[in-house]
Amino acid sequence: MTDSELTEALRGLIRLMLEECGMTAADHALDERDFDQLWSTFRALANTRAPMEASPAFLEPQDRVLREVIARAGVTEADELPRTKADARLSVWRGDITTLRADAIVNAANAGMTGCWSPNHHCIDNAIHTFAGVQLRLECARLMESQGHSEPTGLAKSTAAYNLPAKHVIHTVGPIANGAPTDEHRAQLASSYRHCLDEAARLGCASLAFCCISTGVFGFPQREAAAIAVRETRAWLDGHADAGVTHVVFNVFGEEDERIYHALLDA
């Protein structure tokens, strides 16, 4: 897509979403907005859109726009990432998980499991739902309706990845530690890692990318969380040599997490 085609497609998507809300494009002066302004509006609307079916007239341009935006950001192949010195089954990668082509990526979800509903919030849950497309929230909502209750901490559920380069998204609810984890929180975090690996194996995944579960707004201290992640992942891989999961990526967002994981695995 050319820049002008991408911008116009985005403008059309916003018009459709505003119509869903009973509003008109004139209320937002869309013709006067550049791509960045339009993207912010689109993302905010997508973040707050109820989980419901979307028409082909919406999904086709949405999918083209999202895939183009991801492609322009640059897709990273999980299989090409360097392995750590301590364990050739593991990689540490600092980058945007929504641009990673792996068999599955892990989403740090909340107990509602339908994404972050805060417009333009920069948590991983928001990013994954934004770039996957509105189809993801609907699938998650259906899973939760079938389940009939909030998602327990430390388990895992999988969905399609839709417009993401990954094949699957594995959603897990980590513990809310608020900076002072208890033994129960530690056990729950360890459980999240094990259940994600179990689910990846069930799906037939060879590669799985973890985010730093619970270390954001959930407040689990980074160093302790990383130590649990590495310990549980290596133990699971050791005990499931025939499960098919052969490569695990620890995806980090910031410099501090990157230093912590490298210290654990490249010393």
CATH number, position 92: 3.40.220.10
Residue with tokens 């209320």: 27
Domain boundary residue among 12, 38, 73?
73
Based on the fold, state whether residues 188 and 227 are members of the same structural domain.
yes
Q: What is the pLDDT of residue 22?
A: 81
Return d(Cα 5, Cα 7) in angstroms, integer. Answer: 5
Q: Which amino acid is at 103?
A: D
Based on the fold, state whether residues 136 and 25 are members of the same structural domain.
no
Whether 93 contacts 100, CB under 8 Å: yes
Return d(Cα 214, Cα 10) in angstroms, integer. Answer: 33
Q: What is the pLDDT of residue 267?
A: 60
Q: What is the pLDDT of residue 27?
A: 58
Based on the fold, state whether residues 101 and 231 are members of the same structural domain.
yes
Based on the fold, state whether residues 223 and 101 are members of the same structural domain.
yes
How many structural domains is the chain composed of? 2
Domain boundary residue among 22, 56, 73?
73
Based on the fold, state whether residues 68 and 90 are members of the same structural domain.
no
Based on the fold, state whether residues 164 and 68 are members of the same structural domain.
no
Based on the fold, state whether residues 88 and 29 are members of the same structural domain.
no
Q: What is the pLDDT of residue 26?
A: 57
Based on the fold, state whether residues 138 and 59 are members of the same structural domain.
no
Q: What is the pLDDT of residue 77?
A: 98
Q: What is the DSSP letter of 257?
A: H
Q: What is the mean pLDDT of each run of 10 residues along the chain (267 residues)?
A: 95 93 70 91 96 96 98 98 97 98 98 96 96 98 97 98 98 96 98 98 98 93 97 98 97 95 89
Whether 206 contacts 245, CB under 8 Å: yes
Based on the fold, state whether residues 167 and 235 are members of the same structural domain.
yes
* Closest-CA residue to 225 (of 171, 185, 263): 185
Based on the fold, state whether residues 55 and 84 are members of the same structural domain.
no
Q: What is the DSSP letter of 98?
A: G
Return d(Cα 24, Cα 266) in angstroms, integer. Answer: 55
Based on the fold, state whether residues 52 and 165 are members of the same structural domain.
no
Q: What is the pLDDT of residue 24?
A: 66
Based on the fold, state whether residues 142 and 259 are members of the same structural domain.
yes
Q: Which domain holds residue 20?
A: 3-73
Residue 142: alpha-carbon gap to chain centroid? 18
Domain boundary residue among 17, 38, 73?
73
Return d(Cα 113, Cα 122) in angstroms, integer. Answer: 17
Q: What is the pLDDT of residue 28?
A: 64
